[in-house]
Chain A
Amino acid sequence: MRLKVEGLKADFEVEIEGLDIEGLEEIEGLEIEGELILELIVPAITKAISEIVSKRVEKKIELPEVEIKELEFPNRIREVVIGNTEKGTRRYSVKVGGKGSIFEIGYAIALDVFDTKIKLPKAVRDAYGDLLNDPVEQAKAIEEKKMADLIAFHIISIDVENKEPKEAVKSLKRLLDEVGMPVVVGGCGDVKKDVALFREVVKVCKDEGIVLNSATLESGEEIGKLAKESGNAVISWVQLDINQQKQLNRIIAKHTREIIMDTTTAGLGYGTEYSFTTMERIRLAGLKGDEDLAYPIMTAGSNAWGCREAWMKDTTLDETTWGDRAFRGPIWEIGTSLVSILAGADLVLNLHPKSAECLKKLREEFA
């Protein structure tokens, strides 16, 4: 009997005399002389034998048929296309949503780019280096290296530098001129400033199919209208509240159904039980037929960077070391994103390129 032996420095074949593969008894009594060789070879032989034996057993036993019941849902999540390649200048478009099950996994990935310098965690500064000096250069690098599917461009200069919206959107214009990726355009989080900003944003991205990030209960009416008139989509953002989410979606839907929900994502460990369950319930409601909630979901995995476990040097508290910050930060962001992905998220925003890279690999597996 010849067996191919793997797992040593080089694969080679050994010959074992008197080995009867048809009978396991023979193998159990197997003896080979020479200790060194025995130690090296036995695991490999065992593996090879077990492979052969398992083939043999397969023939003998009758495996039962498994009747798999799926969790079935009557409805499908709407599909939103980001990036207009015909009327607009985007190089390609990205579809999000369209799922028919809570267990279906699929998502687009956006990397965050800020229009002005802000304090970023060290791991992120190290990853981008000098590219952080110019947001458009940063976005170009993301495009060239295919680090993500979309750019999540955050115009925060209207807050941190008190820039006039008209002035602030110039960098967005440049971005759209030089980068062909679909874009999510975000504001600073102050509702009044953001409404003023989006009035200018829609002027420079007519029919680009970008996503306005975001409309709130206060601004939903106007931003929904702006999105519709300019041929763009909108993010509907509510803080962890299913009823308010429905309410806001309805307000926006009077103008456009190109809606993506931001149901709010807590950084891992900082309210994950709320954000995971809220997202899961909203997705289940959509799948069960609630049209007001049957929209794709966006998750800001980048919120992980607010957690000290992501950015702090290492613990000074009385506990085990937290591990190298260069890994820990992205892992915290990946985890924050992944929890949402499992709850149904269709679009993920990340800050660190490594997070995007890992989630991209995972997505390929699920495709």
Chain B
Amino acid sequence: MKAKSPLEIYKLLPKTNCMKCGTTCMGFATNLIQRKQKLDECPYLDEKARKKIAELIEPNIKEIEFDGLVVGGEEVLFRHELTFFNKPPFLIKANEQNYEEVVKEVKSYKKIYIGKELKLDGILLEFKGDKDKFLRALKEIDLSLAIVAPPNVLKSALEVRRTAIGYATVENYEDFLEVAKAYEVPVMIKSNDLRELKFLAEKFRGEGVKYVINPVLDRISSCYDRVIKIRVNGIKGDRDFAYPIMVEIDFDDVFYSAMASMTFVCRYADLMVFREVNPLVLMPSIVLRENIYTDPRVPVAVESGLYKIGNPNGNAPVFVTTNFMLTYYTVKTDLESAGIDCYLLVIDTGGICVGASVASGRFNANAVKEALDKFKVEERVKHRKLIIPGLASRLKGAIEDATGWEVLVGPVDSSAIKDWLEKVWS
């Protein structure tokens, strides 16, 4: 974004501190710069100021919306410089012949991760030659989608559904330009040649048409080279390249597909298309996407505390774990799915997992004692037994000395708790 300091925004705001947006004008200006609030949240902006501020806070990479998806909108090359904002939607390829099956698969795909359901985002619908069926598919598919079809099919398709269209190339761009202008939809431009992409970008941008750049994933290495060049120059002020990038992963080899997809999750894909719903490729990619697009300004931690799992009574076991969000949710899910009524004592390790926090010393006997006292665990249970993670086994003695409680060392992975508990707890 152009604005470098909140002051640039502040002077255009009403400066009344009316708090309608939930904060002061200065606070609002700061939040706009950090993209934590939207401009519309200020009800007292005149048109001129709004336009000016909108220009000042427009993301370095254009943010484009179509059919319920948001792509692009990035500000930085490295996430620690601010954060990455919009996770690249994952689309699966389908066509008018197979879409019913594919849509079903896309809808049912699910990966549970830190208490969230990670899902796929939609379909890239390709035209294979049957226009009637294609139009029916566009009507029927109740997922977000983008269209890849020849120019002579696009008008009827867009009459059914307005969304991004592709692929515009140097051969056919004039037709795409005409349709995109008439229907006000974004265009996916495609070439493995940066000069051609630049040519197309100039044409579309010149006519006020938004676009997504597909630099063609032929090999990971050559596509990587193009993607880096496009994004670095887009961020550095090349206005033609300041648009979202998409990659389409279409290889036979599952290992190569997984490498391709993970490469571009880390490096600048704003939209990703997969050949099929293959968990071997999708699971690591969807988890990685979650990680890379985590806001580094917010710690990945849950509140420390004493959490109830099921309906624990005074004889229920007490498990100790860290407040790293992933550890917490993993342990919680395992305890719940094993049907164990118990307490989970979550100690503050600064959002670091068991292994690392034991090694660094954040997970220590004193931290356990403090949590025991703070959350009054002895008022909840009659026994005086704590179960610590297997990875924290070396703290057994120290915790016993510090707390006076008996310490049992649980399994290294919480998936084994059920069997373990049956042997040691009655």
Hey, which bits of chain A sit against chain B, CB under 8 A? 28, 50, 53-54, 57-58, 61, 63-71, 103, 105, 239-240, 264, 266, 268-273, 276-277, 280-281, 284, 306, 308-309, 312, 316-324, 327-328, 330-332, 334-335, 338-339, 342-343, 354, 358, 361-362, 365-366
Which residue of A277, A319, A332, A338 contacts B79 across the interface (Cβ within 8 Å)?
A277
Q: How distant is the Cα of A241 from the Cα of B308 in the complex, in angstroms?
A: 34
Chain B 107-157 interface residues, beta-carbon cutoff 8 Å to A: 108-113, 117, 152
| CB of B257 to closest CB in A, whole Å | 10
* B280 partner residues in chain A, CB cutoff 8 A: 323-324, 327-328, 331
Q: Is the CB of B262 within 8 A of A339?
A: yes
Residue from B232, B238, B280, B413 whose CB has the most chain A CB atoms within 10 Å:
B280
* B290 partner residues in chain A, CB cutoff 8 A: 269
Chain B 252-310 interface residues, beta-carbon cutoff 8 Å to A: 254-256, 258-259, 262-263, 266-267, 278-281, 283-284, 287-288, 290-292, 294, 296, 300
Q: Is the CB of B254 within 8 A of A273?
A: no
Chain B, residue nearest A363 (CB): B221
Which residue of B152, B170, B292 contacts A273 across the interface (Cβ within 8 Å)?
B292
Contact with A along B178-219 (1 / 0, CB 8 A): 000000000000000111101100100000000000000001
From B15-23, B353-361, B364-372, give the one contacting chain A: B353-361
* A343 partner residues in chain B, CB cutoff 8 A: 266
Hey, which bits of chain B sit against chain A, CB under 8 A? 77-80, 108-113, 117, 152, 169-171, 193-196, 198-199, 202, 219-221, 224, 228-229, 232-233, 236, 238, 254-256, 258-259, 262-263, 266-267, 278-281, 283-284, 287-288, 290-292, 294, 296, 300, 324, 326, 333, 337, 352-353, 355-356, 359-360, 413, 415
Q: Which 4 residue pairs of A and B lie closest in terms of their CB atoms, listed nearest first?
A: A323-B280, A365-B221, A269-B287, A63-B195
Which residue of B221, B224, B233 contacts A69 across the interface (Cβ within 8 Å)?
B233
Q: Is the CB of A317 within 8 A of B333?
A: yes
Q: Is the CB of A269 within 8 A of B113?
A: yes
Q: Is the CB of B220 within 8 A of A362?
A: yes
* A63 partner residues in chain B, CB cutoff 8 A: 170, 193, 195-196, 198-199
Contact flag A64-B198 (CB < 8 Å), given A317-B337, A323-B279, A335-B284:
yes
- 18 extra A-B contacts, CB within 8 A, seeds A71-B232, A316-B337, A317-B112: A53-B171, A64-B202, A66-B195, A68-B233, A69-B238, A269-B113, A269-B326, A270-B353, A273-B300, A277-B80, A280-B80, A281-B78, A317-B337, A319-B110, A320-B279, A338-B259, A338-B262, A366-B221
| CB of B171 to closest CB in A, whole Å | 5
| CB of A265 to closest CB in B, whole Å | 11
13 contacts between A and B (CB under 8 A): A53-B171, A57-B171, A67-B238, A103-B228, A239-B360, A273-B291, A273-B292, A281-B80, A309-B284, A318-B110, A323-B278, A343-B266, A358-B256
Q: How distant is the Cα of A339 from the Cα of B263 in the complex, in angstroms?
A: 7
Q: How distant is the Cα of A66 from the Cα of B110 in the complex, in angstroms?
A: 42
* A365 partner residues in chain B, CB cutoff 8 A: 219-221
Contact flag A358-B110 (CB < 8 Å), given A280-B80, A335-B288:
no
| CB of A361 to closest CB in B, whole Å | 8
* B255 partner residues in chain A, CB cutoff 8 A: 327, 330-331, 334, 354, 358
Which residue of A264, A277, A316 contacts B356 across the interface (Cβ within 8 Å)?
A264
Contact flag A284-B194 (CB < 8 Å), given A312-B415, A322-B283, A335-B288:
no
